[in-house]
Structure 1
Amino acid sequence: MSSSAGFGSDADAAVLAALVADAEGAVDVVRAGQVREVRVLAAAGRLAREQAAGASERVQSHEMALRGIAAELAGVFAATDRTLQRRIDEAQDLVENYPATMEAWEAGRITRGHVRVIQDVGCAVPAPVRGEFEQAAIERCERETPNRVRDALVHVAERLHPRSFTERHEEAAGRRCVRVQPAPDGMSDLIATLPTVIAEGVVDRLTRQAREIINARSDSEAATGLTEASEDADAAAPDSGVAGGSSFAADTRTMDQIRADVFADLLLAGTPALDPTANGDGNGTLGAIRAKVQVVVSALTLTGEDDGPADLVGRSPIDAATARQLAGDNTAWDRLLTHPVTGTVLECDTYQPTAAMRRLLRARDRHCRFPGCRQPAIRCEIDHTHAASDGGPTCVGNLAHLCKRHHDVKHHTRWRVRQLAGGLLVWTSPTGRVYREDAPPPLVAFTPATDPPTSGRPMTEPPPNDIAPF
């Protein structure tokens, strides 16, 4: 049933539909005006170049011609001639170097915001591959808003660059430095030029530590509102770091101020001066907080088959070597399974089994699952039956315990294994003999007595050769 009046009525819907139609028309008009303006400014740039074509001092002549034209147009656009000269340069670059982008913009497939992103990112792409970059960029822009598409375009540009990102990063990392830039009123900017992943890690750690201090301040304020501090508590050292101390109750610093103070403390003294976790017997745990960054890296890059950049989420790309180092040092990383065409994330799992998985696998397997081996599960390693590097998921149906000896046999010899429902492993030897390795049931069972299957016995259907049991 539809209503005829009030909020959400049919009348309101009709008014909204009319507004949407008007908005679409306005967008079309604005876009046409913007495209026309860019083409006019680009034509002004070409005119300046033509006027200077026959002059002897070509560079200076072109500059003077451009200044004169910009000054003429400045009155029309109600802007300074300097501003107009910059806009003419940008328009000329856009029209001459990004024709497909202009066409897509004029057709309404992308917006002015998309055009700015393509031009900003594309300036780092060498001319021979700029057309390829432009086509890929337009396709992505048609599916995303300008503020979301920039990171993807940066990765496209990096992959098309004739020099590898790793090579350019190593060269840039050689220019890392720390410098002081004086500022007014007795202040200075301490600037460190570092690899992006290090810089992001520094800011993340400072933020986590600052938030810990702010949370302690909130707890202190709440405690003050509920109870009166005793005289003994008031006599305690104000900088003792106790969460209920006056040092936190009186702390009114902002997040930025705390980050700056902790940054200085760590560099000068090695530990934050104000630590809400300190108890008077030594340093607290604030200094133990570690940085976290989110990195997405392809499996090919991890295995060394590709040197393409990895994605430091929300920031610029990072080089393949750094991504491999981060992955190697990290014991808990997530694997993303993506659509082969669209790249959409379809599934996410972790390489390391969860604690619940480990408990279940210990109970199910009880020992090494190689035929004939009885090494207890507590002294075994958990193996991905279908290797994680080949797309095998981290789930109970793809995990099994193998002792170190037979784990190595699986990975470095021609023995092969597949896992079926219920934890059943089917092993195939290098000579083609097939062995069935059932998950051993508990010796104490609450089911009718039956003869349990013999672990390690040969498969009966269909064995490729005569099989001798282990």
Structure 2
Amino acid sequence: MSSSAGFGSDADAAALAALVTDAEGAVDVVRAGQIREVRVLAAAGRLAQQQAAGASERVKSHEMALRGIAAELAGVFAATDRTLQRRIDEALDLVENYPATMDAWEAGRISRGHVRVIQDAGCVVPAEARGQFERAAIERCEGETPNRVRDALVHIAERLHPRSFSERHEQTAAGRCVRVHPGPDGMSDLIATLPTVIAEGVVDRLTRQAREIINTRPQADADPAVEAESESAAVDAAEPESSSFAGDTRTVDQVRADVFADLLLAGAPSLDPTADDDGNGALGAIRAKVQVVVSALTLTGEDDGPADLVGRSPIDAATARELAGDNTAWDRLLTHPVTGTVLECDAYQPTAAMRRLLRARDRHCRFPGCRQPAVRCEIDHTHAASDGGATHVGNLAHLCKRHHDVKHHTRWRVKQLPGGRLVWTSPTRRVYREDAPPPLVAFAPASDPPMGRPPGDGSPPF
């Protein structure tokens, strides 16, 4: 390939570099224009305040002055006066209440999209804490797109709110309800106002069930028995259910809506393509899944800050604790104390492979002298997970319920050494070493017979 022509050539690279330079210049021009527009609109808002100053009916006078100014500017911006009045209010709020954000925007550190996110998230922050919010928000915005930082900024703002998120959630949750909005052509919107985590769970379960139904279509279409039943149904209208899913062309949204109605009216989907001859199907076993990130301090009750429902919005601490308590498998995240970057992910529950290895290694309770079989023991984190102990075989061991309680509620202490060796220290400082028991059945070279028994004497190995 020539270096002066063709795709990927030096000429192409030079042309692309010129485009990038032009784009950077265009972004600077657009930013300058946007900032100038915001300052003009904010000045219009201040002018309305000045015109209304000293009037007997201050609120009404300000509203009338603002309407007149908005109507005048509407012709310039080719927009309605209502739209201009709203934009004037937003611009005045931005200029007067978010000066650091304006400075960062003018310096090119953040974009117009970041400014909107900061302003939207910061509306709940009291005036005395807004500077602190701005500094944290601007730092978080640099180098990231606006949609990626929105959730983080909402959490920062919630932390600075004078009332806790849990308190406000409890008050707002009292207004949960279900209502119907009639629509055209015999259709209506059924609206349920629910806690966010419940609403997300409902949609997730409906989506999983809908996809399970849709995924059965190829099997239904390819099943000769279904095809035969379909032909029979075309002749005999008395058995229309036999071809319910052959030729099903509903979209995911339509299937979700149908399953939603079935669950509310009948408690189960009316048609389950996964059902067997006994009438048992897989749809009913599908459970909702949501992803929640919650701090250890919130879980232990030392902090009442909101948890993060990933991809959505904060949820209250009580709901997060309930979800964590009901869940049998959750991941622990180790994050950087300053940047918050995830450094390590560790599941609290050991994997199936870990359990098998631990049963083979331990065989019984690892407290000194106890021989309770491992299958009737609990798997314990030698260095507690709540104190940073990892979930891996080098930090796990079987303890029966009795000795598990002794470890956690008395002055007995234990540490684990390589090879699964446990070193226990009693309250009187006596030390007991608990080695992982070697298998009683082992393979040995023919040249190394068991000690004390001559080779080939015909005696059993044990």
Using structure 1 for the length normalisation, give the TM-score. Answer: 0.90
- State how far apart, in whole Å, the 2-side matches of 1:416 and 1:449 are: 40
Conserved in 2, the CA contact under 8 Å of 1:122 and 1:157?
A: yes
Conserved in 2, the CA contact under 8 Å of 1:239 and 1:274?
A: no
After superposing on structure 2, the runs of 4+ consecutive aligned residues of structure 1 that deviate more than 4 Å are 230-240, 447-451
1:217-236 alignment, distance < 5 Å: 217-223=217-223, 229=228, 234=233
Shift of 1:420: 1.3
Q: 1:54 to 1:275 in 2, by over 3 A?
A: same
What do the CA deviations read for 1:144-197 (whole angstroms, capped 9, x no partner)? 210111111111111111111111111111111111111122221111111111
Partner of residue 196, structure 1: 196
SS at match of 2:244: helix
> Which residue type is aligned with residue 27 of structure 2?
V
Partner of residue 58, structure 1: 58
Matched, 1:384 2:373: no
SS at match of 2:217: helix
Shift of 1:415: 1.0
Q: Which runs of 5 or more residues in structure 1 are unaligned?
A: 452-470
Partner of residue 33, structure 1: 33
Matched, 1:306 2:315: no
SS at match of 1:311: strand
1:144-163 alignment, distance < 5 Å: 144-163=144-163
- State how far apart, in whole Å, the 1-side matches of 2:330 and 2:449 are: 44
Q: 1:122 to 1:227 in 2, by over 3 A?
A: closer
What do the CA deviations read for 1:227-285 (whole angstroms, capped 9, x no partner)? 96378865697554xxxx42112322211111111111111111111110223533423
Partner of residue 440, structure 1: 437
Matched, 1:260 2:253: no
- State how far apart, in whole Å, the 2-side matches of 1:227 and 1:124 are: 58
Partner of residue 460, structure 1: none
- State how far apart, in whole Å, the 1-side matches of 2:41 and 2:285 are: 57
Partner of residue 114, structure 2: 114
Number of residue pairs the alignment of both structures matches: 446
What do the CA deviations read for 1:334-363 (whole angstroms, capped 9, x no partner)? 111111111111111211111111111111
Partner of residue 104, structure 1: 104
1:341-356 alignment, distance < 5 Å: 341-356=338-353
SS at match of 1:184: coil
Partner of residue 459, structure 2: none
Conserved in 2, the CA contact under 8 Å of 1:352 and 1:394?
A: yes
Conserved in 2, the CA contact under 8 Å of 1:415 and 1:428?
A: yes
> Which residue type is aligned with residue 49 of structure 1?
Q
Conserved in 2, the CA contact under 8 Å of 1:238 and 1:247?
A: no
Q: 1:228 to 1:207 in 2, by over 3 A?
A: closer
What do the CA deviations read for 1:363-404 (whole angstroms, capped 9, x no partner)? 111111112222221121110001011111110111001111
> Which residue type is aligned with residue 349 of structure 2?
Q
Partner of residue 212, structure 2: 212
- State how far apart, in whole Å, the 2-side matches of 1:173 and 1:81 are: 37
Conserved in 2, the CA contact under 8 Å of 1:427 and 1:436?
A: yes
Partner of residue 467, structure 1: none
From 398, 401, 416, the counterpart of 1:419: 416
Shift of 1:81: 1.8
> Which residue type is aligned with residue 218 of structure 1?
P
> Which residue type is aligned with residue 387 of structure 1?
A
Shift of 1:32: 0.8
SS at match of 1:202: helix
* Range with bigger deviation, 338-347 or 215-224: 215-224
Conserved in 1, the CA contact under 8 Å of 2:382 and 2:397?
A: yes
- State how far apart, in whole Å, the 1-side matches of 2:97 and 2:398 are: 59
SS at match of 1:426: strand
> Which residue type is aligned with residue 119 of structure 1?
Q
Partner of residue 177, structure 1: 177
- State how far apart, in whole Å, the 2-side matches of 1:368 and 1:20 are: 66
> Which residue type is aligned with residue 136 of structure 2?
A
- State how far apart, in whole Å, the 2-side matches of 1:380 and 1:281 are: 37
1:17-32 alignment, distance < 5 Å: 17-32=17-32
Partner of residue 465, structure 1: none
Q: Which runs of 5 or more residues in structure 2 are unaligned?
A: 452-462
Conserved in 1, the CA contact under 8 Å of 2:422 and 2:433?
A: yes
Conserved in 1, the CA contact under 8 Å of 2:39 and 2:91?
A: yes
1:65-144 alignment, distance < 5 Å: 65-144=65-144
> Which residue type is aligned with residue 261 of structure 2?
A
Conserved in 1, the CA contact under 8 Å of 2:43 and 2:92?
A: yes
Partner of residue 368, structure 2: 371
* Range with bigger deviation, 317-326 or 126-135: 126-135
- State how far apart, in whole Å, the 2-side matches of 1:131 and 1:55 are: 33
- State how far apart, in whole Å, the 1-side matches of 2:320 and 2:449 are: 54
SS at match of 1:378: helix
SS at match of 1:422: coil
1:448-459 alignment, distance < 5 Å: none
* Range with bigger deviation, 409-418 or 61-70: 61-70
Partner of residue 398, structure 1: 395
> Which residue type is aligned with residue 134 of structure 1?
E
> Which residue type is aligned with residue 252 of structure 1?
T
- State how far apart, in whole Å, the 1-side matches of 2:18 and 2:77 are: 32
Shift of 1:83: 1.5
Using structure 2 for the length normalisation, give the TM-score. Answer: 0.92
Conserved in 2, the CA contact under 8 Å of 1:381 and 1:403?
A: yes
> Which residue type is aligned with residue 360 of structure 1?
L
Shift of 1:57: 1.4
- State how far apart, in whole Å, the 2-side matches of 1:117 and 1:172 are: 23
